[in-house]
Amino acid sequence: MELFQILATDICATIAPIIRIIRTVLDIIQIGIPIILILMGTIDLGKAVLSSDDKAIKESTSKLVKRVIAAVAVFFVVTIVKLIMGIISDSSVDDGHTSNQNWLTCWDYDENSTNNTSDK
């Protein structure tokens, strides 16, 4: 294993707890916010239907559609950003080293994995 890869693994092991917290928060945001948005829209639409007001139903339907679109956007934003950053890091290789992929290495780092310490 190259010296740079060893140093990158050591850095990843050092900041692994911070990255784990960030990933947990992002998972909660990625799943929790869409659920909350859809529930809020459904409750609003339910109130409008119970009131039997056509104008309120139309407004609530419009709000629900906007909230569903926002929920889908929030759900996929993390995946889209990771995909774009992966494409950028793959397209800018620095003399054959993986220095531009450090953030991906650390982001996907699993301190319990045996693959991170084996020679490749």
Residue 12 has pLDDT above 70, yes or no: yes
Its pTM surpasses 0.75: no
pLDDT band at 62 (very low <50, low <70, confident <90, very high): very high
Structure confidence at residue 118 (pLDDT): 44
Q: Nearest CA to 60 among 49, 70, 71?
A: 49
DSSP three-state, residue 98: coil
Structure confidence at residue 102 (pLDDT): 62
Round to whole Å and give the CA distance between 13 and 15.
6
Which DSSP symbol is given to 97? B
Residue 36 has pLDDT above 90, yes or no: yes
Question: DSSP labels for 17-37?
Answer: HHHHHHHHHHHHHHHHHHHHH
Residue 12 token pair? 């990843």
DSSP three-state, residue 104: helix
Round to whole Å and give the CA distance between 2 and 95.
14
Structure confidence at residue 79 (pLDDT): 80
Residue 31 has pLDDT above 50, yes or no: yes
Percent of the chain at pLDDT > 70 equals 71
Round to whole Å and give the CA distance between 10 and 3.
11
Residue 93 has pLDDT above 70, yes or no: no
Whether residue 48 contacts residue 59, with contact meaning beta carbons closer than 8 Å, is answered with yes
Whether residue 48 contacts residue 60, with contact meaning beta carbons closer than 8 Å, is answered with yes
